[in-house]
A = this chain, B = another copy of it.
Amino acid sequence: MKDNNKKKKVALIGCGLIGQSWAISFLSAGFSVSLFDPTEGVTEAAKEKITARLSDLQNHGLISKRKISDYLNQIYLAPSISKAVEDCVYVQESGPENLDIKQELTQNIDKATSENIPIASSTSGIPTSLYANEVEGNYRCIVAHPINPPHLIPAVEIVPAPFTSQSTTKTVKEIISSIGKEPLELNKEIPGFVVNRLQGALLAEAFNLIKEGICSAQEIDKAISEGLGLRWSFMGPFQTIHLNAPEGIAGYVDRYEKMYQGMFEHLDIEWSSVIKLGLEEELLKLYDLSEREKYEKDRDNRLTKLILHKTKT
């Protein structure tokens, strides 16, 4: 994949922390990047910060040992949006989380960029429908939301608007995969997308536990960092419960739905009906229950290694 990226250039508009992280991901995957930030001095400062982080990552062995000067030769500091997007195969906008600013910025990028080149936004919460509805080339607008710190976390949410073309979504997923990231495609827009909704639901309960005086913040943090978070660092929540009952997710829901319903007043969704909407079928296909023992062994092996790793670091 990486060889294919050589001689390809992407434009990164907005050079704060998120823009800098994107630069690191694209550069280490072989791309050239052109940077532009409307605030004076930010583009230049970004280049220095990118350089410092690149050598950090090299020292850790996370990216390959090329000369830093080789990377620097791949960075173009652009004086304007139109110069930045010249000859680029992809544009990633990482401007402020403000609807008005994002609308105007996207308009300007769209006007300057050749047709069919995708324009992705790093927004963590504003759907493309809201900020790009009036944009002429809205068919190539889409969300590609990374997770902080984006140069380290693989997951990137890909959220097309109803007006986004299928070929845009496809191209964006391919580019994101080609830089070693893990694209998660949403079928449709929803406030907060998936990542922040999952985080928000957990946080809401954490705040509730504090309000009810159940325990301290430190105990809640440990329930995750010394508990649930260990499994979740390599195994998602559905995989976890699917493998926690001999009959898979249906058995788990059968056994525990009542317990969970007893916890939350507002739990108005019947899990047992949701699993019939393709969820059980998908999980049975992903994780064959006849191999459950093997999965359990794998889980325990990975946990053992993770705990040894944590002890060392």
A200 touches B236 (CB 8 A): no
A169-210, CB under 8 A of B: which get 1 and which 0?
A: 000000000000010111110111011111111111111111
Q: Is A111 part of the binding interface, using a Cβ–Cβ cutoff of 8 Å?
A: no
A125 interface hit (Cβ, 8 Å): yes
- Within the complex, the shortest CB–CB distance from A310 to chain B, in Å, comes to 7
In the assembled complex, how far is the CB of residue A77 from the closest CB belonging to chain B, in whole angstroms? 25
Segment 269-303 of A: residues with Cβ below 8 Å from B: 269, 271, 274, 277-279, 282-283, 286, 299-303
Does A136 have its Cβ within 8 Å of any Cβ on chain B?
A: no
The answer to whether A62 touches B198, judged by C-beta atoms less than 8 angstroms apart, is no
Q: What 0/1 pattern do residues 249 to 277 of A give for CB contact below 8 A with B?
A: 00000000001101110110101001001
CB A30 to nearest CB in B, in angstroms, measures 18
Instruction: Report yes or no: B225 in contact with A229, Cβ–Cβ below 8 A.
Output: no
Are A196 and B259 interface neighbours, CB within 8 A? yes
A220-B238 contact given A233-B233, A263-B196, CB 8 Å threshold? yes
In the bound assembly, the distance between CA atoms of A225 and B155 in angstroms comes to 9
Tell me whether A237 and B266 are in contact (CB under 8 A). no
Least CB distance from A292 to B in Å reads 13
Specify which chain B residues have a CB less than 8 angstroms from the CB of A244 in the assembled complex: 148
* Residues 221-232 of chain A, each 1 if its beta carbon lies under 8 Å from chain B, else 0: 111111111111
Check A217/B279 contact, CB under 8 A, given A190-B212, A222-B155, A224-B237. yes
A4 interface contact, C-beta 8 A = no
- A72 proximal to B (CB < 8 A): no
The yes or no answer to A64 lying at the interface (CB within 8 A) is: no
* A154-B195 in contact (CB<8A): no
Chain A binding site: helix, strand, loop or mixed by DSSP?
A: helix
Contact A282 B216 (CB under 8 A): yes
With beta carbons under 8 angstroms apart, the residue of B125, B148, B308 that contacts A61 is B308
Contact B198 A206 (CB under 8 A): yes
Complex contacts, A206 vs chain B, CB 8 Å? 198, 237-238
Q: With A182-B222, A184-B222, A286-B217 given, is the CB distance from A197 to B205 under 8 Å?
A: yes
A217, A277, A299, most chain B CB atoms within 10 A: A217
The one of B204, B225, B259, B262 that contacts A260, using a Cβ cutoff of 8 Å: B204
Known contacts A234-B225, A304-B57: A197-B209 contact under CB 8 Å: yes
CB distance from A304 to the nearest CB of B (A): 5
Answer yes or no: A219 CB below 8 A from chain B CBs.
yes
Q: Is A147 an interface residue (CB 8 A)?
A: yes
Q: Would A227 and B195 be within 8 Å (CB), given that A149-B300, A200-B264, A241-B203 are in contact?
A: yes
Inter-chain pairs besides A149-B303, A153-B226, A208-B269, 18 sampled, C-beta below 8 Å: A147-B228, A157-B223, A184-B222, A185-B215, A191-B263, A192-B262, A196-B260, A201-B205, A213-B277, A217-B282, A221-B235, A225-B233, A225-B236, A229-B233, A229-B236, A230-B233, A233-B233, A302-B313
